[in-house]
Amino acid sequence: MTPKEIRQMIREEKWTKPTSGLAPSYAQANLVVLPKDDAYDFLLFAQRNPKPCPILEVLDVGDPRPKITASGADIRYDLPRYRVYKDGELIDEPLNIEKYWNKELVAFLIGCSFSFEWALLEEGVPVRHIENGRNVPMYITNIQCVPAGKFRGPMVVSARPTPFNLVVKAVLITSRFPKVHGAPIHIGYPELIGIENIMEPDFGDPPVIEEGDVMVFWACGVTPQAIAMQTKPKFMITHSPGHMFITDIKNADLAL
């Protein structure tokens, strides 16, 4: 299916599950929506923290329709599931955000590590959560982002158990994709970045770890949700972890 066909299926609420593995040749994106009064601070936060928040597109104020990443799409309906935060508290996880949208909101589309998974698979690096039909495990770390305005807090990482003899290959492959998080930020020893129990992720599903696997961690676009829980902006909408926006941009076009 094409990205447009998948977005239509999502809009009709026929697909409400995570999007890992869908449209494998096309880039996926995280979503952050904020009132315009907070938009500059978040843009500055993303500029200072390009590993977890590589921006693919910033939409016009009040306009839910992307101009660059997916013509004809509408971010109010074209993600499988959303999260709505008020004062840092999660209040809803709807299938669309029509009732929350207003003319004062600004949407940010942020690169997603699902976009480099196709390259890993093509080069023979297994992606365990895809193999097992699960959501990628994600963890809040002790790594602090560079603050900007009101936005500050810990980085979130996604983890992929990788055969030890393929870790270097995984690093080299993903380093070609800085617009979708790029190379890993940590390899092995999860306790060093504040992860106490690898089998209890903060978001997503527990990892499937096979003998000889090493845990490899990439910066993750769920970071703004951890930031929201700490800094408590008055209002924020995001994607539900793993439920991404599928763009019309080819992954290959994002590679260095």
Q: 3-113+227-254 — its CATH code?
A: 3.40.1640.10
Domain boundaries, the chain: 3-113+227-254, 116-219
From start to end of the chain, where are the E strands?
26-35, 55-58, 82-86, 89-92, 105-111, 138-144, 154-163, 186-187, 213-219, 235-239, 245-250
Same fold: 3-113+227-254 with 116-219: no
As a whole number of angstroms, the distance between CA 157 and CA 215 comes to 11
- What are residue 72's phi and psi, to 5 degrees? 90, -5
Q: What is the pLDDT of residues 223-252, one digit of tens each?
A: 999 999 999 999 999 999 999 999 999 998
- Give the helix ranges, DSSP H, for the chain: 3-11, 36-48, 114-122, 128-131, 167-174, 223-231
Q: What is the pLDDT of residues 52-106, one digit of tens each?
A: 999 999 999 999 999 999 999 999 999 999 999 999 999 999 999 999 999 999 9
Q: What is the pLDDT of residues 100-143, one digit of tens each?
A: 999 999 999 999 988 899 899 999 999 999 999 999 999 999 99
**Global confidence as pTM:** 0.92
DSSP states of 71-93: TT--TTTSSS-EEEEETTEEEE-
> In the predicted model, is pLDDT for residue 216 greater than 90?
yes
As a whole number of angstroms, the distance between CA 57 and CA 60 comes to 10
Fold of domain 116-219: PSTPO5379-like fold (3.30.2040)
The confidence score (pLDDT) of residue 9 equals 97
Assign 24 a pLDDT band (cuts: 50, 70, 90). Answer: confident
